[in-house]
């Protein structure tokens, strides 16, 4: 039995993935709020590149047609959306950590703690983001954010500082991804960095590297709109890798991105290269641009395998690292940054679209005009 509840609607509007290139705005019945769960009135939910990949090329993380997820048991259609903020409007009977009316963000990653299972070895060491049974709200677990309301585990909710708006708080998930990548890379104050790709995560890394005290940041990007955004967010240099170098160089470098990294670092290269694109050309540039004993950090999710010449790493003792998702540590760090106003978070939101227009104004807009946007947020339509 749940306690402290607001009226629950008979039907809710929700965007569901039915299969590849098949998403529909459906009427769905609200889920029951379990003893350890809360019901949220959704405030905002961001469209992630993963959502676009699920629509265009999926299901990927969502269940395959005719199959059920082995951990959660859910099957298509699935309510999408995993970057969301909201207000608690119902509390499960055993929930003591939250209160009615509290504003929260959701860490959408679920591990054995949430699932009532024996912890795997990564979970035993606190690496919950690489849990062997990890599932995600809005992809492989019920509780997606492209809906008017959602039911999630109370332990998935992180209370928000009053100084941060629900709109900005919806950016916490992609910012947590970026923070986690910087943290896991081993980046230190005063170091230099290259970011390959000025999409939402690349720009988030750029903004947060400033907070970490980066000495120099270089962005590689091919689209004019995103080049302008990278400059606006404070990159020390923005390079279009498709524009050839002019003149001869003593170091015989021909890649304009590598040349810029050498020029801004006294000839050595950067301490860390963050590949937020995931192409063969960006991997090659990331390796070449890193200084001896530098770090190449993979941020991207790849659509196909890439080739790697390990000799390029061994000859200068360069290292490749990678990261995925986040832990609550990353969310708390990001919320502190937002509360202190250390990054221009509002400027990362390029459009707010009502749930009723999520198909054309959200998904199709990102697919057709991706370079014009950093983050599109979806907001439930106001009650009539």
What's the chain's average pLDDT?
Answer: 94
Residue 339 half-sphere exposure toward CB, CA atoms < 13 A = 11
Q: In this model, does residue 123 exceed pLDDT 80?
A: yes
Segment among 229-233, 246-250, 297-301 with least mean pLDDT: 246-250
Q: Is the dihedral of CA 146, 150, 153, 158 positive or negative?
A: positive
Instruction: Report pLDDT for 7.
Output: 67
Chain position carrying tokens 């890439």: 306
**How many residues are present in the chain?**
384
Name the band, by pLDDT with cuts 50, 70 and 90, for residue 199: very high
Average pLDDT, stretch 305-325? 96
Average of per-residue pLDDT across 301-328: 94
Instruction: Kindly report the pTM of this predicted structure.
Output: 0.92
Percentage, residues of the chain above pLDDT 90: 88
| pLDDT of 304 strictly over 90 | no
State the pLDDT at residue 1.
47
SS3 category, 184: helix
Distances, alpha carbon 40 to alpha carbons 44, 98, 135, 254, in Å: 11, 12, 19, 53
Q: Are 233 and 257 in contact (CB under 8 A)?
A: no
Q: Is the pLDDT of residue 164 over 90?
A: no
CB atoms within 10 A of CB 162: 8
How confident is residue 35, by pLDDT bands cut at 50, 70 and 90?
very high
- Which band of pLDDT confidence, cut at 50, 70 and 90, is reported for residue 303? confident
Largest separation between any pair of C-alpha atoms in the chain: 75
3-class secondary structure for 291-330?
EEEEEEEECCCCCCCCCCCHHHHHCCCCEEEECCCCCHHH
- Residue 4's pLDDT is 57
* Tens of pLDDT, residues 43-93: 999 999 999 999 998 899 999 999 999 999 999 999 999 999 999 999 999
Given a cut of 70, whether residue 5 has pLDDT beyond it is: no
Q: What number of H helices and E strands is found in the chain?
A: 13, 19
Q: What is the mean pLDDT of residues 108-127?
A: 93
pLDDT in tens, 329-349: 999 999 999 999 999 999 999
């Amino acid at each position: 039995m749940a306690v402290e509840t607001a009226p629950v609607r008979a039907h809710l509007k929700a965007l569901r993935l039915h299969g590849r290139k098949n998403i529909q705005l459906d009427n769905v019945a609200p889920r029951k709020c379990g003893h350890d769960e809360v019901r949220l009135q959704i405030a905002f939910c961001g469209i992630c590149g993963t959502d676009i990949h699920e629509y265009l090329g999926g299901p990927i993380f969502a269940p395959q047609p005719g199959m059920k997820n082995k951990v959660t048991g859910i099957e298509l259609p699935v309510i999408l959306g995993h970057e969301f903020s909201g207000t608690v409007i119902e509390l499960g009977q055993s929930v003591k950590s939250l209160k009615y009316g509290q504003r929260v963000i959701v860490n959408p990653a679920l591990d054995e703690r949430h699932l009532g299972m024996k912890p795997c070895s990564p979970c035993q060491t606190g690496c919950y983001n690489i849990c062997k049974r990890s599932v995600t709200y809005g992809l492989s677990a019920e509780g997606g954010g492209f809906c008017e309301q959602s039911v999630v585990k109370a332990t998935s909710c992180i209370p928000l500082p009053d100084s941060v708006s629900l709109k900005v708080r919806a950016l916490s998930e992609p910012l947590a991804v970026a923070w986690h990548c910087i943290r896991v890379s081993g980046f230190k104050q005063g170091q230099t960095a290259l970011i390959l790709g000025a999409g939402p995560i690349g720009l988030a890394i750029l903004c947060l590297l400033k907070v970490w005290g980066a000495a120099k940041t270089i962005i590689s990007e091919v689209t004019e709109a995103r080049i302008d955004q990278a400059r606006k967010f404070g990159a020390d240099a923005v390079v279009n890798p498709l524009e050839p170098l002019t003149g001869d160089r003593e170091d015989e470098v021909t890649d304009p991105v590598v040349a810029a990294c050498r020029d801004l670092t006294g000839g050595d290269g950067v301490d860390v290269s963050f590949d937020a694109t995931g192409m063969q050309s960006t991997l090659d540039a990331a390796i070449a641009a890193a200084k001896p004993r530098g770090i190449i950090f993979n941020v991207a999710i790849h659509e196909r395998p890439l080739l790697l010449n390990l000799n390029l790493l061994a000859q200068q003792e360069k290292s490749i690292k990678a990261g995925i998702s986040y832990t609550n540590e990353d969310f708390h760090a990001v919320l502190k940054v937002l509360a202190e106003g250390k990054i221009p978070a509002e400027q990362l939101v390029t459009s707010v679209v009502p749930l009723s227009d999520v198909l054309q104004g959200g998904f199709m807009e990102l697919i057709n005009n991706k370079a014009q946007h950093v983050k599109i947020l979806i907001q439930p339509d106001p009650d009539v």
